[in-house]
Chain A
Amino acid sequence: MEAERWQKLDRLYHEALQHDNSLRPAFVAQACAGDEPLRDELLSFLAGSEASGSFLEQPALEVAAQDLARSASAREHPAVIGRYRIVRPLGEGGMGIVYEAEQEQPRRVVALKLIRPGLATAERLWRFEQEGQALGRLQHPGIARIYEAGAAETGFGPQPYFAMELIRGCPLDRYAGANRLDVRGRLALVAQVCEAVHHAHQHGLIHRDLKPANILVDETGQPKIVDFGVARVTGTEAATTHQTDLGQLVGTLAYMSPEQVMGDPLEVDTRTDIYSLGVILYELLSGRLPYTVNPRQLPEAVQTIRENDPAALSSINRHYRGDIETIVGKALEKDKARRYVSAADLALDIRRYLRDEPISARPPSTAYQLQKFARRHRALVAGTAVVFLVLIAGIAASTWQAIRASRAERTAVAAEAKAVAERNRAVAEKQRADEEAATAIAISDFLQNDLLRQASLVEQGRDTKPDPEIKVRTALDRAAARIPGKFQGRPMVEAAIRQAIGTTYLNLNLPAEAGIQMEKVLELRRQALGDDHPDTAQAMQNLAVLYNQEGKTAQAEALLIKVLEVRRRTLGEEAPLTLSSLSSLASVYRTEGRYAQAEPMFLKAVALRRRILGEHHRDTGMSMHNLAVLYCAEGKYATGESYETKALEIFRAVLGDENPVTLLSMNNLAEIYKGEGKYRQAESLWKTLLEVRRRQLGATHPDTTAVMASLRSVQLIEARSEPLVPTRP
């Protein structure tokens, strides 16, 4: 085409495009009058501009890439491999293509898996066939048989293959969905899989790539695991395909254990399969994977699998609270040492659950959960550790108390059940185990979700401004506010939690807040256990001591009279706890100035404690100290001095020279000396005390300066009593 003609065409083409569709034919006819070839060409261009569509709109590089992708997906299939006649391709997996094939001798249909030839050295092929024979010896209804591992000569070098049992079925997850299996059905199915896995483990074979796609359920409902041991033999296990086959990894990564994603083959053992079974179980029950991992962000995915805890099953469906959650949680432990020891144990626990028997797995202990919490929030925990520790210690202790309490409740229940029907023993036992587990769960849930999680910036950020310096006070207030309604039907758990929170308030010197919690504790225990229960009495005692400190002596007195009555009746006149209540009541009377009532009670306490607990006992000393305070208040310093001296001696021997109680007693004795005018003895005691306080608390602490003031006061008195100016002879 000559240049002028082309340029004319170019110009007319663009001019034509300026015209409306309706006017265009007229324009073309006029412009090309007398030049029919030009007119036809122009018309064809104009027609083409509507139809050219996506032509050339995609850059060449991408066009080429698509071409490459398209041709890679179209592959040629051989007619025969070794002794097998290829019928049709079944699909393609990570390690190669799978065919349905026919074998002549024996006559059977097999699944023939061709392994990507990459292990073509003679030695490796020999090894491959040897290990294939080991796999062939594995016979279990839950495992697809491997008939043969071999290599066929293809003309392009040896082609390794597996001939295995052809399973006509569908993958585990699809089967469960298509047959609308309920929870029990799903659990039973996984238990079967676990038993098959255990069989292979006993033969020294680890699957390493367990996932629903590798577990086919046949038409009889029998799950069959395919590719057992194949991953290791062929070196195509998931961990080694990280970089090369992302698409394959998508379906695999989520089932990989923490040790597996780290890519350390030495760490991978049978417990890796148990972890994968846990993922499968979690997925079958909840309809989702424990972790969302993206293989394209491998470092993040690995970190997630290694460090994050999956959403609790019970948060997806409350039905899974308790045993199911515990079973799945144990299989999914990050630390393989904490998982089930064997797949058989996992199967056993599932079956126990299905038979309503107590399971062997225990929910993670509070201490363990605290460790995990601390690991996750290391920095934050370090910052708030000291104050939270007080709380944690309290809650850990009350967890145990609550379990003990609910055990006591149940003893009654169980005894009744026993009377009704002895054969229900197993049920009662199961109930016991359930309840203990549930109590521990309830407490640790609250601990984690309502209290400690507040220390997490993320959680705080949800509805409030993040506060890295969150005060224990604030955390406690919020936690306390969340209690109501949270422990329906579990009064003992609620009481234990409130007790811990109340104690912490007390430690923070917030007696009013502590009182609210302790009143509630008492109410809960009264309702659930009755007035005479030891735990109710203890709650009364605690609250009374608090009231007394706050100056609410009347309330304290009323409570203590009640406790004393209960303890006398239930425990006896001389029981240590009875004496403790007796002393407390005497202290209230002393505070109220009713010395005449207090004195005989204290004397009685001293006498009984001396006899029952012995002379060298902290409580005996305490009674003597209380008596000394009373005598001093009455101005009877000499008697007071003898009791306090004795008490101090006991405290020094039993508690040590620098125990707070010892120091308190020392201070008291010094005051008595001072009151008696024994200034030098008072000065000497206070000097000793000051030295300890300075060392323990520093020079500016109020307790230190108080001692300093006391010391100064006796020194001044002594100075004044001496002549100011010595007289010269």
Chain B
Amino acid sequence: MEKLIPLVYDELHRLAQRYMAGERPGHTLQTTALVNEAYLRLVDASHAGFESRAHFFAVCARVMRRILVDWARSRQAVKRGSDVPALELQEDFALSGADGVDLVALDDALQALGAVDARKGNIVELRFFGGLSVKETADVLNVSQETVLRDWRLAKNWLRREMRAEQAHGS
């Protein structure tokens, strides 16, 4: 985990810089490449007792989740700390892609999902945090790709509803 943190942070800043330069990185590949790199570095270094590559991916996705959620949490703390309203520059960076996701809220919702349906929780963790494709996810969990797709669809729905409810509740 400690070894993975700098890797993730470096990649995070590198990606952020590319977004700021108005560039849209290739979809999902970044995360996959990062995880692969981490696999090569960590597995070799420590023989960390991963039973398989699949197992490693699962662990990686979990670690990524923890790192990124912690990072998001710390940023929220900083934001709350300053009252000064941010004034946008005229020339704002055109950010492409999806709306932002509140990683902290997602983490909470994902926890709840895992409690009622562990497999769906794992699928979300592998796909969203681990950056794995449907096929890779199916391989790691040893289920069919159809199952992954079905679960993924419902899980996303459920998480979204849960997060909306939580947001409405909180404010």
Contact = CB atoms under 8 A, between A and B. Distances in A.
Interface of A: 1-3, 6-7, 10, 13-14, 44-45, 48-49, 52-77, 89, 91-92, 246-247
Interface stretch (B45-53, B137-145, B149-157): B149-157
Nearest to A90: B90
A59 B129 contact: yes
Contacts of A2: 116
Contact of B131 (A59, A70, A74): A59
B98 A54 contact: yes
Contacts of B90: 89, 91
B20 interface: yes
7 nearest CB pairs, A to B: A65-B15, A69-B19, A68-B16, A59-B131, A54-B98, A59-B31, A48-B157
Contacts, number: 149
Nearest to B65: A60
Contacts of A247: 20-21
B170 interface: no
Given A13-B154, A69-B95, A58 B116 contact: no
Interface in B6-50: 8, 11-13, 15-21, 25, 27-28, 30-31, 34
B117 interface: yes
B31 to A, nearest CB: 4
Nearest to A91: B91
Contact of B87 (A48, A63, A68, A76): A76
A74 B88 contact: yes
A64 B72 contact: yes
A52 B31 CA distance: 22
Given A6-B116, A66-B95, A75-B86, A59 B128 contact: yes
A49 B153 contact: yes
Contacts of A61: 8, 11-12, 15, 30-31, 34, 64, 68, 129, 131
A60 B65 CA distance: 8
Contacts of B93: 69-70, 73
Q: Is the interface of A mostly helix, strand, loop or mixed?
A: helix
A63 B88 contact: no
B98 A55 contact: yes
A32 B34 CA distance: 45
25 contacts: A3-B116, A3-B117, A10-B154, A45-B157, A52-B160, A56-B106, A56-B124, A56-B156, A60-B65, A60-B68, A62-B97, A63-B100, A65-B15, A66-B19, A67-B75, A69-B93, A70-B100, A71-B75, A72-B16, A76-B84, A76-B87, A77-B87, A91-B91, A246-B21, A247-B21
Contact of A75 (B68, B75, B87): B87
A14 B146 CA distance: 11
Contact of B100 (A49, A67, A92): A67
A55 B156 contact: yes
Contacts of B18: 65
B103 interface: yes
Contacts of A74: 86-89, 92
Interface residues of B, number: 58
Nearest to A76: B84
A69 B17 contact: yes
Nearest to B89: A89
Interface in B98-116: 98-101, 103, 106, 116
B161 interface: yes
Contact of A57 (B72, B98, B157): B98
Nearest to A250: B21
Contact of B128 (A6, A56, A65): A56
A53 B99 CA distance: 11
B36 to A, nearest CB: 13
A14 B16 contact: no
A335 to B, nearest CB: 34
Given A52-B160, A63-B98, 11 more contacts: A13-B154, A14-B154, A44-B161, A45-B161, A48-B161, A59-B30, A59-B130, A61-B131, A70-B100, A73-B20, A74-B87
A45 B160 CA distance: 10
A98 to B, nearest CB: 11
A53 B160 CA distance: 11
A4 to B, nearest CB: 10
B103 A65 contact: no
Given A55-B98, A56-B124, A59-B129, A68 B157 contact: no
Contacts of B71: 64
Contacts of A44: 161
B61 to A, nearest CB: 9
Nearest to B88: A74
B13 A48 contact: no
A1 B71 CA distance: 30
A428 to B, nearest CB: 56
Nearest to A74: B86
A52 B20 contact: no
B37 to A, nearest CB: 13
Contacts of B64: 60-61
A63 B31 CA distance: 11
Contacts of A73: 20, 88-89, 92-93
Contacts of B75: 67, 71
Nearest to B146: A14
Given A56-B124, A61-B11, A61-B12, A69 B20 contact: yes
Contacts of B127: 56, 59
B58 interface: no
Nearest to B163: A55
Contacts of B20: 69, 72-73, 247
